[in-house]
Each structure stands twice: as C-alpha cells, then as structure tokens.
Structure 1
Amino acid sequence: MNKTNPRLESLIGMLKRASRENEANIWREIAGRLNTSSKNYAEVNIGKISRYASENEIIIVPGKVLAAGTIAAPVKVAALNFSDAAREKIMEAKGSCMTIEELVAANPKGSRVRILR
C-alpha cells in the first residue's frame, strides 16, 4: 500500500530493515500494522496503558495514544502520535514519550517491549 505521509513511508522501511538486521520480529510486526489503512491504526487510552503496563515497562502503540483515564506508574511509551493531553499525563507520572524511531534506535533488538492495540 502506498503511503502519502513521507515519515510513515520511511518509518515502515526502517522497521523492516531493523527487523532483518537485528533478527527482531517485533519490528516487522509493527511495520505490518502501520502498513494498513490508517483507520485500522490502534487508538490506545492512558487508562489501558495503566491497566496492562507495569512500572518502568516499555510499551509500543502502532497508532495514537489518547488521554482518557489516569496513569500513576512511570512507563516508557513509544507511539506514532500522542495527543497533547496524553503526553502531559505520561510526563506527570514520571514516564516518557518517544517516537517509534527513537525506540528502535535505543532498543534495536526490541527486547522487553510490549505491543498495545
């Protein structure tokens, strides 16, 4: 499927390359989920992240993180996009927000990363 967003196009290519080079199937899985129609992207609320993530865990969302709910534990969250309010809530809980590109650079093997959708 051809994407019109150049960032998305390069991200999918980079994920596939990282998957091959590091033998990390998680990046191929994320690339596959992002290579679908944007209406199929995950939209995950802060409350869901809070329910499924333990303290200092790394979460990846192949889509957008939204602000409904609360979060208390410091969690690292990587996503395609964040709403401003969601970013604020994660930071208030002493967590961190990063792009998927930043996560791949920091953790090329994709170890100890949980996918939420």
Structure 2
Amino acid sequence: MTRIIEKTNPRLTTLISLLKNKSRENEAKIWREIANRLETPNRNYAEVNLSKINRYAQNGETIIVPGKVLGSGMLEQSVRVAALNFSASATSKIKDAKGQCMTIEQLIRDNPKGSGVRILR
C-alpha cells in the first residue's frame, strides 16, 4: 500500500500552486516541470554545488535549482541563480562573483515565460 505524502511547508505548497498557475497562464512548460520536481519527497530534491553551476553555466545566464545550492567549489561566471534554498557560503560566493541569488518566486515574477532559464539538478 502506498502512502500519500502531503507537503506541510506553507511556502512550498503555495509555490507549487503558483508554478502550476503560471505554467497554464503563460504556456511555459518549465514551470510545470519545476512544480513536478518540488512535489516529490524532500529527499529527492536537488543539491547542487557551485562547482557544477560553474561547469554548466555561461556568463550572464539564469539557472534554476529545484532544491538547495551548496557552497562547495568556486564560481567564476556572473550568473543569476534561483533556488528553493541557499547555504550561507553559496550566497556569499555568488555575490562575490557579481552574480545574483533569488528565490523561485522572484524568478517567476521577473521572467513569467521562463525563457532562457536552465534547470540544474
């Protein structure tokens, strides 16, 4: 018998519903994909190190992480990173590289179509 797991974090439940609504309104499949990834159990969330962002991102690109960004590694490009959570060291290293840390809600507000956004997991 499978258990139905419901999210208890109010920020997460409102974010998932916001992502689904914006996906329907703007016909942007990227928001539906992020919502689907956030609906999975917390142990399946992405944990991305800065070294991986540095490896796969181009200068000036927007990256979205459906999980947490960790501060292991160096960041040499100036990138905009949107994620559910950031570690303190990741935030400081991104800002030192002249990048920008933002929440997923801020990214949806700034870019409702989701164009030019790369998903890392």
Matched, 1:60 2:64: yes
Return the letter of the residue paired with 1:35. Answer: E
Write the distance in 2 (CA, Å) between the matches of 1:44 and 1:116: 7
Q: Name the CA distance, whole Å, in 1 between partners of 2:32 and 2:118.
A: 14
TM-score normalized by structure 2?
0.96
Instruction: Give the superposition deviation at 1:72.
Output: 1.1
| 2:79 aligned to which of 75, 82, 98 | 75
State how far apart, in whole Å, the 2-side matches of 1:37 and 1:72 are: 32
Alignment length (residue pairs)? 117
1:36-89 alpha-carbon deviations (Å, 9 max, x no partner): 000000000000000000000000000000000000110000000000000000
Q: Does 1:110 align with 2:99?
A: no
1:3 maps to what in 2?
Answer: 7
> Matched residues in 1 for 2:58 and 2:38: separation?
25
Cα-Cα RMSD: 0.5
Larger radius of gyration: 2
Matched with 2:46 is 42
Q: For 1:67 and 1:84, how far apart are their aligned partners in 2?
A: 8
- Which residue is 1:84 aligned to? 88
- Give the gaps of 5 or more residues in structure 1: none
- 5+ long unaligned stretches in structure 2: none
Structure 1 stretches of at least 4 aligned residues deviating more than 2 Å after TM superposition: none
Describe the superposition over 1:8-39 as per-residue Cα deviations: whole angstroms up to 9, x where unpaired: 00000000000000000000000000000000
Q: Distance in 1 between matches of 2:95 and 2:78?
A: 8
TM-score by length of 1: 0.99
Name the SS of the counterpart of 1:88 in structure 2.
Answer: helix
3-state SS of paired residue (2:72): coil
